[in-house]
Chain A
């Protein structure tokens, strides 16, 4: 990996999100619809994610989170918190699948900007196998939270 690649991994958007974390903080007083706690056993990094649904149409209202980790994991959670609001549950599952597919592609699949928005900046991470778990941590937490939702009537 050349220094050019390092800049590719740590794009400015990622470093900005790692510093200014969107959706960070759980203490807004509202009980979440579901929640998930995930740990990366390799490094001990962790995230607690709360999912709030829109009362009306059941789409995602907001994703709130707290946790600690490297800039990739923090930026990824922040970008996810930006992406999720307004998306319905099946649509969110589809996006998590698409993100995972790109992350596991070792750089062969460009993430789809129509689906993933700004989170495509994490595409460079997929070339670094050891860092894929960092990028996935928040997304796995949201996936787990979605699984805990009561089945649709």
Chain B
């Protein structure tokens, strides 16, 4: 992962390759409301290939057992598969195995960091954890484009500790006001949390520049990689971020599994968030000693089948070629934003055609509410997202309460993007003609 994550040398998928990929996703072959499904809501959740579904089912058919406890054969096999999945995910994002903590989703992962820092602030975790403790007046910096999941946990942490929450505002084209960094990130800054790719604007943020500014101030960097891990090649070690989070269900895996990445020395110094079984070395009636990461953050029975399925998902993505997926979606993203920009009364939120973006675009239609656009498109079997996409401050910044979002993935075709564009034009005619 660098500031230019799209490997332009990679070839997009050919028509026959795309057809073969799509055959792995039976859900895409159905009709919805009498039309072939056009699924353009992968930014919300992706569809799942047979390889992932089979991996989860096979586990339940043949190995299902409790992991990291019990000495019988199935327990050993289940534990091995669970840890192999962790290794696959670690390789996929350029991390070491013990730097990958399973969570339910990215939201839980961010809350884990925030509450662990809270616990450190309360004096838990001893000498090693003191580096995380926040004092009144310390600053947490986020951006104006954050998903609520990367905003509210920091608001709450600030409220609990007396820290001050600040944010990097956006320029008119939706990019971050990096010119303001010297004023926003300074000696009181302790945490800088930002999204890698905006779930509304499709913008890829300059990770290297933000990491450098944060580290110069001695602050920790938390990267929300929900919209990048599924679509772009990541190298978390090379990026220098301290923590990163993402959700499995947006990258071909089932719901219920997410990832917290943390640099090893940080994870091992951070006090736990959830406590209970399977995360200790010794327990007395008075206290406990905790295992090193990742186990110290994995209290209780784990999401074993989902983790194994996420392992299968990243293997599938690697086999397809993450650089090729990025190239494919970059092309789709440009087709999408060029087409939308050419429609009268459509305003794309964020950068226009020709600017770097992933395969995702949100737009406002003058005089037609996003719910009405969404309903019209659904009538044609076209699935898109409407509403505020869990980013109300961002929408407020652009003077709208909601928008319509189309988002692609490796299985999306040019024809599907074109059907969306035609549908949007027809929706405008439908509501415009009546209005």
Pair from one complex: yes
A47: min CB distance to chain B, Å: 12
* Docked-complex contact B369 and A70, CB < 8 angstroms: yes
- Nearest B residue to A42 via CB reads B387
Please choose the segment from A5-13, A113-121, A138-146 that sits at the chain B interface, where 4 or more of its residues have CB less than 8 A away: A5-13
Q: Are A70 and B388 in contact (CB under 8 A)?
A: no
How many B residues touch A, CB cutoff 8 Å? Answer: 21
Known A-B contacts A12-B434, A70-B369; the reply to A45 vs B401 at CB < 8 A is yes
Residues of B contacting A1 in the complex (Cβ-Cβ under 8 angstroms): 33, 378-379
* Binary per-residue interface labels of chain B (104-136) against chain A in the complex, 1 for a CB within 8 Å, 0 otherwise: 000000000000000000000000000000000
* B392 is an interface residue with CB less than 8 A from chain A: yes
The answer to whether A69 touches B379 (Cβ under 8 A) is no
Number of interface residues of A (CB under 8 A): 25
Residues in A whose Cβ lies below 8 Å from that of B376? 6
Please determine whether B369 and A71 come into contact, CB atoms closer than 8 angstroms: yes
> From residue 84 to 122 of chain A, which have CB atoms closer than 8 A to chain B?
none
A3 contacts chain B at the CB level, 8 A cutoff: yes
Known contacts A18-B435, A134-B371; is-contact A45 B402 (Cβ 8 Å): yes
Tell me if B239 is interfacial: C-beta within 8 Å of chain A: no
Checking B375, B388, B401 against A128 with a beta-carbon cut-off of 8 angstroms, the contacting residue is B375
Q: Are B375 and A43 in contact (CB under 8 A)?
A: no
Complex: A71 Cα to B435 Cα, angstroms: 10
User: Is A9's CB under 8 angstroms from B33's CB?
Assistant: no
Closest to A9 in B: B375
Q: Are A68 and B34 CB-contacts (below 8 A) given A6-B376, A43-B370?
A: no
CB contacts under 8 Å to A, within B357-406, are: 369-372, 375-376, 378-379, 386-388, 392, 395, 401-402
List A contacts of B379 (CB < 8 A). Answer: 1-3, 5-6
Interface members, chain A 16-62 (any B CB < 8 Å): 16, 18-19, 42-46
Among A2, A9, A44, point to the contact of B34 (Cβ < 8 A): A2
Task: Kindly state the separation between the CA atoms of A134 and B372 in the bound complex, as whole angstroms.
Answer: 11
A71 & B388 in contact (Cβ 8 Å cutoff): no
* Alpha-carbon separation in the docked complex, A1 to B34 (Å): 7
29 contacts between A and B (CB under 8 A): A1-B378, A1-B379, A2-B34, A3-B379, A5-B379, A6-B376, A6-B379, A9-B375, A10-B372, A15-B431, A15-B434, A15-B435, A18-B435, A43-B371, A43-B386, A43-B402, A44-B388, A45-B371, A45-B401, A68-B401, A69-B369, A70-B371, A70-B372, A71-B369, A71-B431, A72-B371, A128-B375, A131-B371, A134-B371
Extra A-B contacts (11), CB below 8 Å, given A44-B392, A44-B402: A6-B376, A10-B430, A10-B431, A18-B435, A43-B386, A44-B388, A71-B372, A71-B431, A72-B372, A131-B371, A134-B371
